[in-house]
Structure 1
Amino acid sequence: MTDLATLDAYGVLTEPATLTIQRLLPGPVDRVWAYLTDGDLRRQWLAAGHMGTVPGSSVELVWRNDELSDPPGRRPPGFSEEHRMVCQITELDPLCRLAITWGSTGGVTFSLEPQGSDVLLTVTHHRVTDRATLLSVGAGWHAHLDILAARVAGEAPEPFWESWGRLKEEYERRFAD
């Protein structure tokens, strides 16, 4: 069982190019699982899109970050209103573990572990070798998971883009060369 008193909201490099970030969320585990796998729930914190139900099937992710909070904040230069990516499920153990491919990186794994009435969600983003991508990914996962935590707690999330910008600066400090 995880020592919940020491759980830090920030992602850490568990290997030189692997980011691991955790959130303790209100359970039950099937509700948190639904926020990972159901496109309508996933769009409330990360990205919309259809997801297959077996390893090898596709996952469509459609980001519309301006829709994640009200107000969304000011979108930084270089980001579009919508971004799409098609991934593939590489591992699926319902209510426990989901792993998918992720662009040019080594993929993302979501693990769920019941902790009493709560659920520990661990997101591991593998083989992010480019520093700029690592900083963006770290801030992105952190901001998206903060929104997920707010959603499952029935709270309004803070403006996405302001959060992402502030977090990117913090990850630049934390992951200094």
Structure 2
Amino acid sequence: MIDWTTKDAYGVLVEPTTLKIERVLPGPIERVWSYLTDSEMRRKWLASGEMELAVGAPFELVWRNDELTDPPGQRPNGFGEEHRMESRITEVDPPKKLSFEWGTTGGVTFELEPDGNGVLLTITHRRLPSRDMLLKVAAGWHAHLDVLEAVSAGERPAEFWQNWERLKDDYDSKLPA
């Protein structure tokens, strides 16, 4: 496996309700940008959904996590085959920064910058309303980034749901109560 991660793969709390997670991915920066903004590329690691790259533009993300890995692993109780979320772009600066509302509960910012032969992707997720949501979101971003790392390196990712379950337990022990 190509290890592009020169940063700690685990996210950290930078404020009580704000998670920050970083990964170094194979470049160039335009390629990583397409994994954030192009529905078909984003579907391979996170969620599909057409996006007009303009501040104020609404869009919908559609998660089908069972389709991210083969096999996907056993889906945890409480998760359906599909999840949809309405959102709106709040900031866009191609190919360096993209911010949008996270449904009605917070906001997410993706920042890209060159890092040696790779691209540093920083995700900041703000206003997480509860510890339960924080643990799910931290494990979710981490698991989705594991898929992105593998896909962008041309490798087969680990089973999504098994990885998510393990990461949720890890974050429960790593993040303050």
Give the shorter-chain TM-score range.
over 0.9
TM-score normalised according to structure 1 size: 0.95
Which residue is 1:98 aligned to?
98
Partner residue in 2 for 1:51? 51
Structure 1 CA distance for aligned equivalents of residues 19 and 126 of structure 2: 7
Unaligned runs of 5+ residues in structure 2 are none
2:118 corresponding residue in structure 1? 118
Q: Percent identity?
A: 60
Q: Which residue of 1 aligns with 2:78?
A: 78
Deviation of the 1:116 alpha carbon? 2.3
Unaligned runs of 5+ in 1: none
SS of 2:31's equivalent in the other structure is helix
User: Aligned equivalents of 2:116 and 2:173: distance in 1?
Assistant: 34
Quickly say closer, same or farther: Cα 1:83–1:5, change in 2 above 3 A.
Answer: closer
SS of equivalent residue, structure 1 residue 61 = strand
Partners of 1:5 and 1:91 in 2: CA distance: 26
Measure, in 2, the Cα distance between the counterparts of 1:97 and 1:60: 19
Q: Matched residues in 2 for 1:70 and 1:50: separation? A: 24
- The equivalent of 1:10 in structure 2 is 10
Aligned-partner residue type, residue 78 of structure 2: G
Q: Name the structure 1 match of 2:26.
A: 26
State the distance in 2 between where 1:118 and 1:175 align: 28
Deviation above 2 Å: which 4+ runs of structure 1?
A: none
Number of equivalenced pairs: 174
Distance (whole Å) between structure 2 residues aligned to residue 119 and residue 22 of structure 1:
10
Aligned partner of 1:169 in structure 2 is 169
**Match in the other structure for 1:42:** 42
Structural mapping, 1:138-153, within 5 Å: 138-153=138-153
TM-score (norm: length of structure 2) = 0.95
1:101, distance to aligned residue in structure 2 (A): 0.2
CA distance in 2, matches of 1:5, 1:128: 25
**Cα pair distance change 1:71/1:61, threshold 3 Å:** same
